[in-house]
Amino acid sequence: MAKEKTVRGSSGAVVSTSGRVARGLLFVFMLIVGLLTLYPVLYVLFGSFKENAELLVGGINLFPKVWSVDNFVEAWQQADFSTYTMNSVVIAVGVMLLSLFVTSMAGYVLDRRKFPGRALIYGTFMAFMFINVGSVSLRPLFELAISLHMNTSLFSVIFISAAGGQATYIFLIMSYMKSVPKELDEAATIDGCTFFQTFYKIILPLLRPILATVALLSFRGGWNEYIMPLVFTMTEPSKRPLTVGVNMLKNSGDGAAAWNIMFAGAVIAIVPILLIYIVASRYFIDGLTGGAVKG
């Protein structure tokens, strides 16, 4: 025991002066990378309080000369950002609820039951994580939505966004299910629970941590969706989410004149998801490694 301690002591070269200097340098390096990473967000955040004249002149000042909330007022009242924000909220919450509903059941069934077609379904999910025909898949979905008269409905956007994320979430839930003892299912069955009751009353409460991850990841997915809602709201400006609405301003010709509104719009699009991230960063980070990379 004592011997081990001395080994630890000598191996902990970090305590020595040169070690301390090295650690100090590393800290400075990490700090620089951290500031560079933060900078664009701070830049747009503080910039959104600048007057348009100051934005158009540019310069290296991070903070506004004159603090003003006019940009937000203008964006909210004249540039339809209240509508865009509402649409973003509807899409993000919709994708979150649909993802939770669909993937919790599918993840449970796929992990616990053997049924005809199981391998086929599992294999198809896996295959489509690798097969990628890119944006072309938006065309048939768009035409399908037109023929169902749903091409301007936010439900189409929600459905497609949830579909895009579901494989990852199902795999996340399946790998979490490995830690839920099968004896629980068996005991519930013996107590007279049906298959669905077992899921609903016994398993679902236990899945709460992983469902929190799925909820956050899918909310982010819906909130950040861009190209797909862009296609679906091409002719329906009142259905545009923030991502699409802000970028439309950029392409609208008088782009330079609208810098202040775009800054405000970008901040409205960034801040809610950033706040959620600051509160729940652990879930986002764990969600990445929980199911995605399984060596």
Partner 1 sequence: MKDSVPAKSTGHIKTRDGLTIGLMMFPAVLMLLVCSVYPFLWVFRYICYDYNGMTAYFTGARNFVRLFEDTAFWASVGHTFEYAALKLVFILPLALVMAVLMQQKIMGSGIFRVIYFMPTIISSAIAALVFSFIFAAYNGVLNAVLRATGIIKQNINWLGDPSFAMWAVLILAIWGGFGNYMIYFMSGLSSVPGDVYESAMIDGSSGLHTFIHITLPMLSPMLKTILMLAITTAFKDYESIMVLTTGGPNNRTMVMFLYIYRLLFGSNQNNPSIGYACVLSIVAAVIVGIVTGIYLLLARKLDDVM
Question: What residues between 58 and 97 interact with partner 1 by CB under 8 A?
Answer: 58-60
What would the two tokens of residue 1 be? 């025991």
Among the candidate windows 63-71, 74-82, 202-210, 256-264, which touches partner 1 by CB under 8 A? 256-264
Q: Is 128 in the site for partner 1 (CB under 8 A)?
A: yes
Among the candidate windows 66-74, 78-86, 206-214, 279-287, which touches partner 1 by CB under 8 A? 279-287
Q: How far apart are CA 78 and CA 98, in angstroms?
A: 33
Query: Going residue by residue from 11 to 30, which x/- string records binding to partner 1, judged by CB under 8 A?
Result: x-----------x--xx-xx
Q: Is 51 in the site for partner 1 (CB under 8 A)?
A: no
Q: What is the full DSSP assignment across 117-167?
A: THHHHHHHHHHHHH---GGGGHHHHHHHHHHTT-TT-HHHHHHHHHHHHHH
Q: How far apart are CA 144 and CA 138, in angstroms?
A: 10
Among the candidate windows 64-72, 77-85, 124-132, 204-212, which touches partner 1 by CB under 8 A? 124-132
Q: Which residues contact 230 (CB under 8 A, 6 or more apart)?
A: 243, 244, 247
What would the two tokens of residue 28 be? 């400075």
Among the candidate windows 63-71, 72-80, 205-213, 237-245, which touches partner 1 by CB under 8 A? 237-245
Task: Find the binding residues for partner 1 in span 130-169 (CB under 8 A).
Answer: 130-141, 143-144, 159-160, 162-164, 166-167
Q: How far is the CB of 181 from partner 1 (least distance, A)?
A: 12
Q: Is 212 in the site for partner 1 (CB under 8 A)?
A: no
Query: Between 76 and 220, whose beta carbon lies closer to partner 1?
Result: 220
Among the candidate windows 31-39, 69-77, 79-87, 205-213, which touches partner 1 by CB under 8 A? 31-39
Rounded to 5°, the CA angle 287-168-230 comes to 100
Query: Between 73 and 285, whose beta carbon lies closer to partner 1?
Result: 285
Which of 222, 218, 251 has the alpha carbon at shortest distance from 234? Answer: 251
Q: Is 209 in the site for partner 1 (CB under 8 A)?
A: no
Query: Between 123 and 237, whose beta carbon lies closer to partner 1?
Result: 123
Q: How far apart are CA 288 and CA 293, in angstroms?
A: 8
Query: Between 29 and 67, whose beta carbon lies closer to partner 1?
Result: 29
Query: Between 207 and 262, whose beta carbon lies closer to partner 1?
Result: 262
The angle, 0 to 180 degrees and rounded to 10, between the axes of the packed helices 118-130 and 154-177 is 110
Among the candidate windows 67-75, 77-85, 102-110, 203-211, which touches partner 1 by CB under 8 A? 102-110
Query: Between 153 and 189, whose beta carbon lies closer to partner 1?
Result: 189
Please report where in the chains the tokens 């060596």 appear, as a residue: 295
Q: Which residues contact 82 (CB under 8 A, 6 or more apart)?
A: 76
Could you tell me if 263 and 70 are in contact, meaning their C-beta atoms sit under 8 angstroms apart? no
Q: How far is the CB of 282 from partner 1 (least distance, A)?
A: 9
Q: How far apart are CA 102 and CA 189, in angstroms?
A: 23
End-to-end CA distance of the chain: 36
Q: How far is the CB of 126 from partner 1 (least distance, A)?
A: 8
